[in-house]
Every structure is written in C-alpha cells, then in structure tokens.
Amino acid sequence: MNYEETLQYLYNQLPEYQRIGHAAYKEGLDNSLALDAYFDHPHQKYKTIHIGGTNGKGSTSHLLAAILQQAGYKVGLYTSPHLVDFRERIRVNGKMIDKAYVVDFVEKYREAFEPIHPSFFELTMEMGFLYFAEQKVDVAVIEVGLGGRLDSTNIISPDLAVITNIGLEHTQYLGNTLPKIAGEKAGIIKPYTSVVIGEIEDEDVRRVFVEKAAAQHAPIVFAENHINGFNSQKTPSGWTFQCKAYPDLIDELGGFVQEKNAKTVLTAVEELQKMGYRIPKDAVYDGFAHVVELTGLMGRWQKIQDRPTIVCDTGHNAHGIRYIGNQLESEKYDRLHIVFGVVKDKDLQAILPLLPKNAEYYFTKPSVERALDEKILAKEAANYGLQGTTFRNVAEAVHAARKKATENDFIFIGGSSFVVADALPLFMNPS
C-alpha cells in the first residue's frame, strides 16, 4: 500500500470516534495495554507530560512543546484530531511523522494488531509512542483524546499532568454535570505526580481535583492563583502578557482563551523547572512568540485572510463558543458573516444562545458521518434569532460568504474542528 491507501485502510478498518461517533467508542484501556505490551512499552523510554481538559488542550500542548524545543530538548508531540494531514498528530520538534513510517508501521505490524481490534485512536497513539522512541526524543507532550480516566493515553506515567479546564462535553460518556466530568478528567492524576489545574469556575470542580490529588499524594497547583500580577493586552498580532517572571511576554496565538492558557503554561513550566528541566527564560519567550512556526499549530483563532478578515477557530462546545462570542464582539467590522456547522452530539441549547445575533449565518455540515444536517441546524438556530442560509458543504458556504462580504467585513468559520478542517485547504496554495 502507498500512503493514501494506508490512510484509507486505517480509516475504513479501524473505527474512528471523531468521524463516526459512538460506534467507534471503546471504553477501557485493555486494547491500549495489549498494544503497548506488544511494542514493549515505548513511552517508558522517554519523559512524558500529559495534557487533559475540556478546551485549550491543543494550544497548551503546542506551547509547552515549543518552549521545551527552544530549551534544547528533542520533543515529541501527540495531539488529535488532525485538521488537514493525519501526520499533524505525531510530530518531533515540529516536523510531522514521515509518510513512509506510517506505511511501514501498518505493513510490518498489521498481523499483530488486527487480532486486538484496536480503534483508530488506540493504534495511531501507539504508532506515535513507538515513533518517538525510535526518534529518541527526550520528552513527549501527550494530549488526552476523550476524557481522561479511560482515555487510551492514560497508560503513560508522566512527569507532570495538566488539566486546562472543565466544561460540559461528551456527556454520554463522561457524565452530565461538571463535577462528574471533572472526576473523569482527574483520572490522569497519578500517584506522587504533580498536577497543574488551569481555569476553575466551579467550587465543586475544585473540590474534585483537590480530593483526587490528595488520594494520590499528588502535589496540586491552581494556575489562576499561582501567577501573580498577571494582566494582558490584546494586540493585532496576538497578545502581550505581563507578570512578574515574564514581563512583555508576546503570545503569537489570538483568541481570549489564550489568556487562561498562558497562565496554565507558565505554571507548568515552573513545575517542570522544579523537577530539573532546564528551561531558560528566553525559551519561554521564543516558544510563545513562535509557537505556530515551531509546532505547526492551526485553527486557534487563526487569521487566514485580510480584507475581508477571515478567521477560523476549532472551539466546538459551550465553554469554547463563549470565548469565541466574546472575541467576535470585540472585533471591528461593517458586517459579520459566520460559516457554522456542528456534529450531531453537540448540545445546541447550550451553544446557540452564545452566538451573536447581528450576523448573517451560512449553515453547513462538515464532511464526516457525525455531521448534523445543515437544515436541522438552521431550524434550531432560528429559535435563538440566528438567521441565514443553508449549504450542503463547507466549501459552498465559504464561497458564498466570500462572495457576499466586502473588504471591511469579517468572516468567522467554526462550530467544529471538522468545519475548520474542511475550510483550511480552500485557503492553502497547492503544493
């Protein structure tokens, strides 16, 4: 098989939750442990850092990877889902895994892993762990897929765990209250292993983390209380943060949520330094200022065109959409156009009230089986005063928005990672 054929095999033969939903969900770690045993526990050959939470996992993972890379470490980075290329999930010092490695891995180990019947995520995670070992990375930053306690990635024994925040998501698997979801996310807290907690908006959630950490004898640090004298200023190119340890810290990433992520990352850096990681200040400045170039991060309040301004963001639940709504209110434009699509399991009653009513909507659906029909979405949105037109796919919706917008307008593309994934190639030069 060539690379494209190998990807089709992985998608077709192994169920992928992110594309088809519940049918691909496998609870428990049995498959992951079986695969890991077969490959002789590759993640034990390097240090790991585990990143969980509802939103901000991707930004936090990429920022930490960029900082460690600039500190001189060889850094593996495992994230999901990908937006344009599968290989975005597995990177070493920002460089994606080789296509040939993906092909060779499947050909070489197919007879061994097929009897285990792994999910797409379980197998590709193990592929990443093995690749990092063979590349002899010093440390790997590992992003949780779904939840925490029963997530495939929870077989690692990290130096540090980070939980960014807690919001309602995947309630059919994680629970229908914030404390229940926090309990699942807290499953990545390991015995005697420090944990950094980012944003906390609920005292019951805080209590869940405190009790879990105490039970595991794990030192716990709440980032919001830890970084003193922190303030921020939004700039055309991102953010400038001020705090005692890092004055005039420039963050390349846009979006209001990055203020919270920055506190989490800076607290994590301090914890790693206490453990003996050599992270000089200039590495922190460089990592924040050049995270996109260093890691290839996409889809986080990413500006993809000027005149009209076009921005995409992968925020896809109430917690993330609230930040996006606040961000859109702060932007200047003549008219606002929103290309919007979701997947079927999203809580529309929680998301739709957070979206601006003073916008023209282009309701669409991403190219995955989980996608919610655009006509159903439009009908539900109308109940909240959101008006617009429906389009069969993201490309048609984006084309219509660009055609109607004038140079002083603003086009936002989002609602789902898969909407952004469908949109980004429309703005890329073919290579």
Provide the β-strand partners of residue 275: none
Give which of 319, 415, 345 is closest to 54, Cα–Cα: 319
- Greater model confidence, 237 or 428: 428
Q: Which backbone phi and psi does 11 adopt, to 5 degrees?
A: -70, -40
- Is a pLDDT exceeding 70 seen at residue 25? no
Concatenated DSSP letters of 130-143: HHHHHTT-SEEEEE
pLDDT (mean) for 353-373: 96
Question: pLDDT of 165-202, one tens digit each?
Answer: 988 766 566 777 999 999 999 999 999 999 999 999 88
pLDDT at 229: 81
Query: Cα separation of 257 and 60, whole Å?
Result: 11
For position 236, what pLDDT does the model report?
A: 74
- Cα–Cα nearest to 313, from 91, 59, 87: 59
First to last CA, the chain: 22
pLDDT tens-place string over residues 276-309: 999 999 999 999 999 999 999 999 999 999 999 9
Q: Which of 58-67, 95-104, 142-151, 252-261 is least confident? A: 252-261
Distance, in Å, from the CA atom of 139 to the CA atom of 45, rounded to the nearest integer, reads 9
359-367 mean pLDDT: 97
Residue type, 344: K
Pairwise CA distance, residues 63 & 186, whole Å = 22
The answer to which of 47-51, 88-92, 165-169, 190-194 has the lowest mean pLDDT is 165-169
At residue 78 the predicted structure's pLDDT band, cuts being 50, 70 and 90, is: very high
pLDDT category at 27 given cuts 50, 70, 90 is low
Tell me phi and psi for residue 385, to 5 degrees. 80, 20
Q: Extract the tokens encoding 252.
A: 């390349």
Determine what percent of the chain is predicted with pLDDT higher than 70: 95
Look at 97-106, 113-122, 301-310 and tell me which has the smallest mean pLDDT.
113-122
What rounded mean pLDDT belongs to the chain?
93
Distance of CA 266 to the CA centre of its chain: 18
Q: Please tell me the distance from the alpha carbon of residue 101 to that of residue 109, in angstroms, as a whole number.
A: 12
Q: What is the pLDDT of residue 17?
A: 41
Per-residue pLDDT at 20: 45
Number of other CB atoms surrounding residue 380 within 10 Å: 17
Position 316, amino acid: H
Q: Given the structure tokens 């991707």, which residue do they identify?
A: 58
- State the pLDDT at residue 428: 85
How would residue 24 be classed by pLDDT, with cut points 50, 70 and 90? very low
Query: Which string of DSSP letters, residue by residue, matches 153-191?
Result: GGG---SEEEE-------HHHH-SSHHHHHHHHGGG--T
Span 394-407, average pLDDT: 98
| Angle ∠(356,358,360) on CA atoms, nearest 5 | 95
- Give percent above pLDDT 90 in the chain: 81
The tens digit of pLDDT for each residue in 232-259 reads 888 777 789 999 999 999 999 987 888 8
pLDDT of residue 18: 45
Place 364 in a pLDDT band, splitting at 50, 70 and 90: very high
Higher-pLDDT residue of 22 and 374 is 374
Domains and CATH numbers, the chain: 3-295 (3.40.1190.10), 302-427 (3.90.190.20)
d(C-alpha 83, C-alpha 70), whole Å = 25
Query: Given pLDDT bands bounded at 50, 70 and 90, which one contains residue 26?
Result: low
pLDDT band, residue 266 (cuts 50/70/90)? very high
Mean pLDDT value across residues 198-222: 96
- Cβ neighbors of 402 (< 8 A, separation 6 or more) are 308, 310, 411
Phi and psi torsions of 238, nearest 5°: 150, -130
